[in-house]
Each structure stands twice: as structure tokens, then as C-alpha cells.
Structure 1
Amino acid sequence: MPGALPGLLVALTPLSQLGFIPVSVVLGERWGLSVEQVGLSVGVYAAAAAVGTVLLGPLFDLVSPRRVLPVAVVLNVLLSGSLLTDPGFAGIVLARVLTGVTGSALVLCAVVVVADGHRDDPSARERGFSRLQTSTSVGAAVGLALGAAAAGLGAPAVWAWVVVGYGVLVLALTPAFVRRMPSGAALPGTSPTARLHALAADVHGALRAPRTVFLLLAGAAVGWAIQTAHYTVSLVSQQAGPGLGQRVLLAVLIPLGVFAGASLDEVLLTRAAAVRVFARAYPALPVAAAAVLAGVASGSAVVQVLALVGLGVALGVLMPLGPAVVVGWYPDLRGSVSAAESVSKALGSTVGPVVLGAVASGTTLAGGFAVAVAVTLLGAWCARVSARS
């Protein structure tokens, strides 16, 4: 059984990725950066994670993750510590790129451990992915609350120290984790080259299937929505200048909703397969996104609070279902196909904040978020088509 290892690993990624978002706005003001530059510093982490996932996903179908985990944890700690040196815009972008790559390795390790631990029980595997999302939402809530507090105090280093400390904790536990990890998948072939060729052929066929293509497009819309929403919250907080308590509350509303949504997911998965839950639940995402847009446009605090929680619930239901569905379709390619699904979300997460910043600079913040609403509508259609393919 996977135990606590996957949850501890996936919590580090949102602690580092999402916790940086509130801090980035403060750093942008300190260094005189534009909204587009701050958006780039936020989105580049997801882009780097996508590249790392593309490179490492197939690797996990060939070798055990136990060979990758120790190196990834060490590099993550060192790179997070580099943010304490106040490196400026170029330095922060470089650090976020490299941290994104190492973070992708940690997430893939967690996915592979869950997939292999429940290989013969699809229902348990799907619930295991939901529990991963629960751990992710806890890390997101802590990261965003910490980042918001650090931003409110004007002390970004507080957030960086906590990320480093958590990484050191995971590093200390790594030897025990490694002993419990699977020995690795064996693919047909008598040599590494033959096994790689066989893997490439199988992955190519899986990714060309229409159901996979539409599932990945739907996942990209999910990534677009969550990262754009977090960036929007940070911009609203910085523009409104609320007190420290209000800033922290706004930052954790989405993760609290995600936690509730992931918990609801486990109940829904006892009644229907993951692919059906995904298609049926997805329309809630554009509805919630439209509510957030209404809150941003009106400036109503009540609407913003309710809408952000609702958006979090929708995202909490959907985010773990993507990998659960695609790994269920292709269990022997669990590293590669979960990497592809993660990349689709990462691409959305990368483009979303950049588009938001560009549109908001030329129009309004509400105008920028309206694009996200349109993207989620397209994603709902893709989810429906994928389920029917």
C-alpha cells in the first residue's frame, strides 16, 4: 500500500508553486516589474514542470522512481533556498524554472506509487488519486496562506524558509520512502533500446486516441482556470489593500473549496466510474468561473468569497479525475500518460496568467478573467466528447 509517501510528496509542489503567487506581487512592486513580468514569473514554473514531466514521465515506465526521488528532493531544497538571496527578476525566473522541473519529478513519483499500489483495484486507485488531490489542497492552502501572510508583512523570505524547511523534512524521510517504492516496470524487450522503442510506440498510439486528446484539452482548461483564479485573487488583494487577515482569507478560499471537492470526489467515485464523474461534473467549472467574474466585476466581497469557494469545489472534484481516467485507460503506461495529463494542465497554468496579465493591461481585470470563463466552457465540451469517444 502507498501509505503517506504520495501525500507528502505532492504537498510540496503547491507549497512552492502557489505560495509564490502572493509573494510575486510584492516582489514585482519591489523590483518595479510590470504585470506581464510578474505573470511570467508565476507561469514559468508550470511551463518548466511541463517540460520536466515530458522528459521524466516515460522514464518512470522504464525504471523505478526510487532512483529519481532522492536527487529531485535535494535539488528542490537547494533551489528553494536560492530564493532567499533576493536574486532579481532574471534570477527568480531561473530558480522557478529549475524548481518546476524538480517538482514535476516529485509529483510523478507520487502518481506512480499510487498507480502501482492499487494496480489490481481500479476503484481504490481512483480514490487514491482523490486523496492525492486532498493532500495537494492542504499544501495549497498552507502555501497560499503563508504566501499571503508573507506578502502582507512585506517579508517574502518567510515563505521561502518554510518551503526549504518542508523540503528538508521530506529529504530526511527519503531513505524510508525509497525502501517502500516499487522496483520498476518491465516492458517487452531484451535491451533498454528495444524497451524504449516499444514504450514510444505504445505511448504514441495512446496519445493519438480521440478520447485521450479531448481529455487532455479538458485538463488544460482546468489548469488555466486554477492558476488564473489564484493570480486574480493576488491582484485583487494587492489593489484593494486589505488587512493581513483578509488577505490570508482570500488566499485560502480556493484551496478550502478544493479540499471539499476532493473529499466529495471520493463519495462520487463509489457511485460511478471516474470518466462519467468527470464529464458530468465539468459543467460546474464554467458556472463557478462565471460567478468569480461577476464578483471581480462588481467588487462585491460576498460574491467573491462564495464564488471562489465554489470554484475550488469544482476544481477539487475535477483535478484528480484526469489522471485517474487516463491511468485507468492505460495502466501499463502510467508514467507516460499521467505525464501527458499533467503537461496539459501545466500548459493551461502557464498560458492563463500570461493572457490574464496581457488582457488586463489593455482592458480590465474582469476582461482578463472573462477569457478564462470562455476556456472552461470549451473544456466542458471536450470532457463530454472524451467520455463518449
Structure 2
Amino acid sequence: MALDTTKTLNSLGFAKPPSETRVVVAMSGGVDSSVVAAMLAEEGYDVVGVTLQLYDHGAALAKKGACCAGLDIHDARRVAEEMGFPHYVLDYENIFRDAVIDEFADSYLAGATPVPCIRCNERVKFKDLLETARDLDADCMATGHYIQRKMGEAGPELHSAADANRDQSYFLFSTTPEQLDYLRFPLGHLASKAETRALAAKYGLAVADKPDSQDICFVPNGNYASVIEKLRPGAAEPGEIVHADGRVLGTHDGVIHYTIGQRRGLGIGGLSEPLYVVKLDVDTRRVVVGPKEMLATRTIPVREINWLGNGAFDSAAEHHVLVKVRSTRPPREAVIRPLSATTAEVELLTPEEGVSPGQACVFYAPDSSRILGGGWIHKG
């Protein structure tokens, strides 16, 4: 039988009515995912809300700006009740600890600066939760991330959000083509967060004015060192703060208290020149400081590359792209030289300051909004 190409696709890209299209919505309890769920429910989709409990929700009840625990679970459940669709809470505490929190602690102890939100998307939300959505016979899974999925000649492509201030592409570079085929991002085309809140008010959601999540969900008040000390008692050993020229300037209570590029809170006053952390030597327990120009980096070794561009990553001698080496930095011109299917050397045309192992290096097309993938910066 010939395929009927005259059928109109619904807003999620399926050739059937919304009522016959089941979509699992990953609900964190915040305004973004709540609006996605409410929007799809109003359009008539067969919506199933799922919230992951990622860490001890009892301890998080009074913590503002968290997600996936305590009050947020309650808020997600309330939205589901208001909009009339089923909602489930899944206990992912053990998975989250094994896949995200433990690596976070170990990376800091190794002198790196990890990005656990990327690992959470990669190893929990877009892996285990996505499989749960398939088990529920869902046609797709939708999230409240600000990023766009567009159809290209070779299939779905990942593109930056319409609102550059809300774009979350840096945190989603490791989304695989197979996952992208199943995922949907209904908010990526919106021009501003104000539009999202207006939609929340339109649907009468109690979370319409709820503040955005701040910092890493399991790190209260952004104090990374205190979390690591609890996870790895006694692992933070004291050492020396050393100038790049070899002078010992002071002592510290543990390398975990420092990051590459840090200037404030070094504990070495009385110096005539401003100094920055330029290296963390875990083996000798030394924090090496130096002038700002020592932070400039042109060549970056990258591994665990997820390629979303056309063709095999290592089929070309080099790729001319834009790259981001921090979520808050603008993309910079660069040349990627593949060393294998998953490793490469990235050369920045203009040196970047504060490039740190453990951060992501995300690739962007120079002539469009498309994300071409990315990888992890490691010590050369």
C-alpha cells in the first residue's frame, strides 16, 4: 500500500490526532515544564507527567531554587491535577548519585570543574527517563528546555533557542541523534521567558510566578566545597599556593576550593599584582597562580565527542565552527581537527581565558543556529 502523504502532521510531528498521540512530559516542578505539560494537555494530547525525585526531598523542602525534590514534586503534581492528566513520581536517587553526584565530587578532587547538569541530561533524563517514556508507550517525550528541534535533510537537527538569553544548547550538546528523534522542545521558539510566564498565567497555573532554579540542584547556596567534603570526608588535603615563577605565597585547605581563572578569595593578600588560578596540581596539592595573560588558551584537547553534524565526525580533516568553552561565554571561531571518532584538538582563532578541564566544548555551525555537538575538555 502506498504511503498517504496527504495527512497533516500535528504540532509534535505525527500524522494522527493529538488525542491519539501520547507524550510523556518531564516535569521538574518549575514554570517551564509545567507550561509544556499544560499546553499539550490543552491541545488535546494524551499527556503523562513524570517527575524524578533525584535526591532527598525531605532535606530540600525549605530550599529555594532547587528542582526535582520536595516542593517541586508537589508543584508538578498540582499542575497535573489542575490540567487533568496522570502524574508519576519516580525515585531516581540512586541512579542520580551514581551517574552524576559521585562523578561531580571525583572531578573536583581531580582538579577539574565539572558540569553536572549536562551529565544529568545525558545519563538520567535523556537516558533512563526516556526509556521509561518508551515503556509507557509514548510517541515522544517533551521537556521545558529552551532549545529547538528542526527537521533537516538528514533528519532532526538541534538548534539554539530563539531567545539567546535562555538558550540551553550548552547543556544539551550530548543529546544523541537517536534521542533527538524522540524528544520535543515546545518552548524553544519563544522570544522570551515573559511569554512562558504569560502562558502559565493563561492556563491558571499556580507556578506562573515561581522563581527560576538557581545553581546546581544538589549544591545549596553554590557551596561546592561543602558538598564534596560531605561526599568525600578527608579527601581535601591542605597544600601550598605557589606563583608560576616558583615562589610559595601561602597555604590552602584543599584544591577543591579553587577553580581555573579564580581571582577572589585566594587567601594571599598584600601583593602588588592581581593574580589568578592558572593551574591545579592535584598530585602535589598545589594551587598555581599567575598573571591574567597566563590564562589565555588557544589549543584545547577534547574527548567523548558527540557529533550532530552531517557525515562522520572524523571523515573530514578539519571542521571550521564556532565553539563555547563556558555556558556564559559567547561562541568563538575555531578549527576542530579530529583525532578519532570521539577525540579532537580544538584550535581557537582568538585565545580564550579560563579554559578548564571538566567543562564542555560545544560546537556551533558558523552560518546557522545549528548545534553540531561537542565534547569534554580534558588535561592535555
Q: TM-score, normalised by structure 2?
A: 0.24
Q: Which has the higher helix share?
A: 1
Q: Which has the higher strand share?
A: 2
- Higher relative contact order by CA 8 Å / sep ≥ 6: 1 or 2? 1
